[in-house]
Amino acid sequence: MKQELYFSNEVASTIEEVVAQINPSKIFVLVDTNTAYFVLPQLQQTSQIIANAKVITIPAGDLNKNLESLSLVWRELTLESASRSSLLINVGGGVVCDLGGFAAATYKRGIHCVNIPTTLLAAVDAAVGGKTAVNFQGLKNQIGVFREPDAVIISSIFFKTLNQHEILSGYAEMIKHALLKSEKEFARVMKFSPIDSLNNNDEYLEMLRDNVAIKADVVKKDPTEKGLRKALNLGHTAGHALEELSLERKNPIAHGYAVAWGLVIDAVLSSMLFNFSSDTLHTLANFVKENYGAYDISCKDYPHLIELMRQDKKNPDADHITFSLLKAPGKLELDAVATSEQISAALDIFCDLMGI
Amino acid sequence: MKQELYFSNEVASTIEEVVAQINPSKIFVLVDTNTAYFVLPQLQQTSQIIANAKVITIPAGDLNKNLESLSLVWRELTLESASRSSLLINVGGGVVCDLGGFAAATYKRGIHCVNIPTTLLAAVDAAVGGKTAVNFQGLKNQIGVFREPDAVIISSIFFKTLNQHEILSGYAEMIKHALLKSEKEFARVMKFSPIDSLNNNDEYLEMLRDNVAIKADVVKKDPTEKGLRKALNLGHTAGHALEELSLERKNPIAHGYAVAWGLVIDAVLSSMLFNFSSDTLHTLANFVKENYGAYDISCKDYPHLIELMRQDKKNPDADHITFSLLKAPGKLELDAVATSEQISAALDIFCDLMGI
């Protein structure tokens, strides 16, 4: 299925255009308890299509990205006799897009699906690329399929309801995309101000258009992560380990923050293993330190962090810890393998750079 | 993913060949409580690969083709740290192949999967074509995805443990395939004896090879049932209605029997609407009557049967009842629409032909 990306701050008319192309027999809107309150009423006022659609609401939060919420969606679709030509429109952040995408991919073996991401993180990450999923047994995104939505409508008008923390969380993925693309894109994201620019919708949309295109291009070339798509894991092996550590400490950090710190760790490893430029590493580390602060780890945490990296689902087996690294912005080193000693050394440098 | 079909009565060596090609990091075998008892011990004796694999067992029967059994498989895979390069080998009938296929398609967004169908019905139907699914809220195959297994190993050696009823149930799908192919294939299945031929493994395998190729060819041309694949619904709209009626009567009939009768009803409709030859209709009706007997319906059941056909998930909406019909064996009429009156008339003729 071909995924169409729409960048528009005229959301209602874009919805009309997309729905006219799909021509569904019935329309459902999936929201969580947050977007039901903060976003849906406004969309219902401007869009006749959304106003007339049947609304399905799941509880908000990653803890509810589970089989129970998924069954709720399947049940509502069943009760309302959704057919294969029905359409599910996901209006929300990553949880709604991922879980709704999986529900749509599996109900009657697949119905139409459109994502309208309402957070910056979802717009640049979850909504695009077809990685649908739910958590299972405490493991993130353990159950899912690769299945791209029919369309994604990306708009910056929703982001004004987000707090600074949420904006920065999304921006980490944009930094990642820029690192994958080129020196020039990297310089651009280092200069852009993700918070202040919210006042300029056109400028923001332009930035999103270019940045999301980087991810869409990678996904198009390798939809099921056999090769190139692994590039998108930049910052994520170390990032996920920090995220899980924070869960164990019962003081969870946002995914995007973990990715921002993970990007610095991966840049350190890249500089150790592939001569990634020290200047670029410092530019990145300073940007991250200034905007995201630092996460408090010490050398006592290293063995456990390395163990968590070892368990990452992207590793082919338990004996190797693989990373997606860089020779330079835009120059990828997929399937890089680092030893425990190298990772420990990288974590030491990371702590220095972050001033921990 | 390309699906490889292996027709072999040397199952152990074929498993070796298939596994060598996939080169999985870990191997899991899914069985149900029936195949765990009747098939697995023998496979474990002949195949070192099966003997060393981790076995996952689900309860047998269509009633257990549900989210609970699916979660059991996901849980076992998780507990045993299955990775994306792991392999799940489904050893069983339709329930095991459908549910195991869905589990493999969704665990970590997809691991390797091989089907070893142990019933004739699964060999000619469920194991091939990638329609994975579980039942949900009493609706058959309501949740699933299209995802072909890496390989299917079809062998007739397992069929000797089946009773006559089970063999005939599978044979109905073979008659369907023959009707979709040509006059010649149809004549061939009318002459073949599915029970007596069990004594000749080579002859049976040859028949399966040609017959399954018909389905595989249709699936290859239209994996997600946008067009041509609807041909495989021949006999199924009416068949499913009879099957559901039998469930309501608390005296369930086998799927294959319902399909056999459904094929006769569809042949009647084909002759009414598209001049399908009366001779061919009578040949089919006599074969079905002789081998499958008749299912007891009367004109009082027609309105309810028609209502059940209306609810079929393949209909685009509730106002149309669509059938896959034939002008002649090998000449398809997809998306044929019949009125209630026409269906009633067809059911009358069906009762006459079956001597009800």
Q: What is the tens place of the pLDDT at every residue in A55-80?
A: 999 999 989 999 999 999 999 999 99
In this structure, are residues B11 and B43 in contact, taking their beta carbons and an 8 Å threshold? Answer: yes
Residue A316 to residue B146, Cβ atoms within 8 A = no
Chain B residues with CB-CB distance to A71 below 8 A: 67
**Which of A62, A58, A139 has the alpha carbon at shortest distance from A94?**
A62
Q: Alpha-carbon Rg of chain A, whole angstroms? A: 20
Chain A residues with CB-CB distance to B72 below 8 A: none
Phi and psi based region of residue B108 (left: phi greater than 0; alpha: psi -120 to 50; beta: remaining): left
pLDDT of residue A1 exceeding 50? no
Cα–Cα distance list, B118 to A171, B38, B48, B269 (Å): 52, 10, 19, 34
Chain B residues with CB-CB distance to A83 below 8 A: 313, 315-317
Model pLDDT, residue B173 = 97
Instruction: Note the pLDDT tens digit of each residue in A80-110.
Output: 999 999 999 999 999 999 999 999 999 999 9
DSSP result, B217-242: HHHHH-TT-SSGGGGGGTTHHHHHHH
Residue A317 to residue B131, Cβ atoms within 8 A = no
Mean pLDDT calculated for residue range A126-143: 92
DSSP code, position A4 = E
Residues of chain B with pLDDT under 50: 1
Query: Which residue of chain A is at minimal alpha-carbon distance from B224?
Result: A109
Q: What's at B205, amino acid-wise?
A: L
Model pLDDT, residue B139 = 85
Chain B residues with CB-CB distance to A233 below 8 A: none
User: How confident is residue A161, by pLDDT bands cut at 50, 70 and 90?
Assistant: confident
Q: Name the residue among A84, A108, A131 with its Cβ closest to that of B109.
A: A131
Query: Which residue of chain B is at minimal alpha-carbon distance from A68?
Result: B67
Closest Cα in chain A, distance from residue B276 (Å) = 30
CA distance B43 to B11: 8
Q: Alpha-carbon Rg of chain B, whole angstroms? A: 20
Q: Which of B83, B99, B109, B132 to mutate to test the interface with A (most CBs of A within 10 A)?
A: B109
Residue B313 to residue A108, Cβ atoms within 8 A = yes
Name the phi and psi angles at B57, rounded to 5: -120, 130
**Which of B270, B230, B265 has the alpha carbon at shortest distance from B245?**
B265
Q: Name the residue among A75, A143, A225 with its Cβ closest to that of B107.
A: A143
Phi and psi based region of residue A130 (left: phi greater than 0; alpha: psi -120 to 50; beta: remaining): left
Q: Name the residue among A78, A110, A313 with its Cβ closest to that of B146.
A: A110
Chains A, B: CB pairs < 8 Å: 88
How many CB atoms sit inside 10 A of residue B48's CB? 12
Instruction: Note the pLDDT tens digit of each residue in A233-251.
Output: 999 999 999 998 998 898 8
- Strand B139-146, strand B131-136: pairing: antiparallel
pLDDT of residue A2 exceeding 70? no
Q: At what angle do helices A236-248 and A255-274 cross, to 10 degrees?
A: 130
Model pLDDT, residue B2 = 63
Identify the H or E element spanning B84: none
Model pLDDT, residue A122 = 96
pLDDT of residue A316 exceeding 70? no
CA distance B261 to A60: 49
Cα angle A257, A259, A262 (rounded to 5 degrees) comes to 115
Closest Cα in chain A, distance from residue B244 (Å) = 17
Cα angle B348, B349, B355 (rounded to 5 degrees) comes to 95
Model pLDDT, residue B326 = 97
Average pLDDT across chain A, whole number: 94
Residue B145 to residue A109, Cβ atoms within 8 A = yes
Residue B25 to residue A110, Cβ atoms within 8 A = no
Model pLDDT, residue B1 = 47
Residue B109 to residue A83, Cβ atoms within 8 A = no
Instruction: Note the pLDDT tens digit of each residue in A265-303.
Output: 999 999 999 999 999 999 999 999 999 999 999 999 999
Closest Cα in chain A, distance from residue B194 (Å) = 32
Interface of B with A (CB under 8 A): 25, 67, 71, 74-75, 78, 81, 83-85, 105-110, 131, 133, 136-137, 139, 141-147, 224-225, 313, 315-318
Query: Which residue of chain B is at minimal alpha-carbon distance from A107?
Result: B143
Tokens of B325: 């019909």
DSSP result, A234-299: TTHHHHHHHHHHHHHTT-PPPHHHHHHHHHHHHHHHHHHHH---HHHHHHHHHHHHHHH------G
CA distance B67 to B135: 8
Tokens of B114: 């091989």
Residue A106 to residue B71, Cβ atoms within 8 A = no
Chain B residues with CB-CB distance to A25 below 8 A: 316-317
**Which of A97, A123, A129, A99 has the alpha carbon at shortest distance from A228?**
A129
The pTM (predicted TM-score) of the whole model is: 0.91
